[in-house]
Amino acid sequence: MSTDNTNSAPIHRVSYALVGITGHDFGVAVFSTGPKINPDNMSLSNEASITHEATLMLNPIAAKILAKNIQTSVDGYERVFGEIKLPENVGSPESARG
């Protein structure tokens, strides 16, 4: 989070990924969000923009290797900084259905 020079409102930027299974492959779409910039005066809008940054298509073996590598990284992070607390129901079958 940062603050722009003309306004004391905080600027929030978020990155997120959607993971799904398509046929025999695993798909990961990565997005980022941030405030829209008004081109007339270069001020920040109250609306957010969403940008598709990348898409990964992985076969099952590559997906499992990536999952293990991410878990190793998360475990190391938590050893240094403490447990990462998730909001209730994140990762549950109910949250996956939307």
Q: Domain limits of the chain?
A: 1-58, 60-98
Instruction: With CA atoms as reference, report the closest residue to 34 among 20, 60, 8, 53.
Output: 53
Contacts of 9 (CB under 8 A, 6+ apart): 3, 44
Tell me the whole-structure pTM to 2 decimals.
Answer: 0.58
Q: Look up residue 90 and give its two tokens.
A: 């994140």
pLDDT of res. 1: 44
Q: How many CB atoms lie within 10 A of CB 26?
A: 19
d(CA 10, CA 82): 26
- Quick count: other Cβ atoms within 10 Å of Cβ 4? 13
pLDDT along the chain (98 residues), means of 10: 49 66 83 80 78 89 92 96 87 58
Cβ-contact 7, 46 below 8 angstroms: no
